[in-house]
Amino acid sequence: MMSPEKMPHIPEVKTTPERVLEEAGKEVEVSKKEKLAPEEVETRVTELADLSAARPEISMHV
């Protein structure tokens, strides 16, 4: 294992959602204690699954 003084510098890089929001010029507050109805959870999970499934196809066009 590398000693701390020999480890390469890792810059603080923003996550993709942070970069997208910054580029859009928007600030969005996210509540960690937000309660969702079961239907809302199902809808969001379905949307995320669809986006995840579309990722390989989208990356071919980028």
Mark residue 25 as left, alpha or beta (left: phi above 0; alpha: psi -120 to 50; beta: remaining). Answer: left
Please give the residue that has the higher pLDDT: either 30 or 45: 45
pLDDT for position 39: 92
Task: Examine the pLDDT at 49 and tell me if it is beyond 80.
Answer: yes
55 pLDDT more than 80: yes
Polymer length of the chain: 62
0.85 surpassed by pTM: no
Rounded to whole angstroms, how far apart are CA atoms 58 and 62?
7
Place of tokens 């079961």: 38
Q: What is the pLDDT of residue 16?
A: 77
Mean pLDDT over each residue of the chain, to the nearest integer: 76
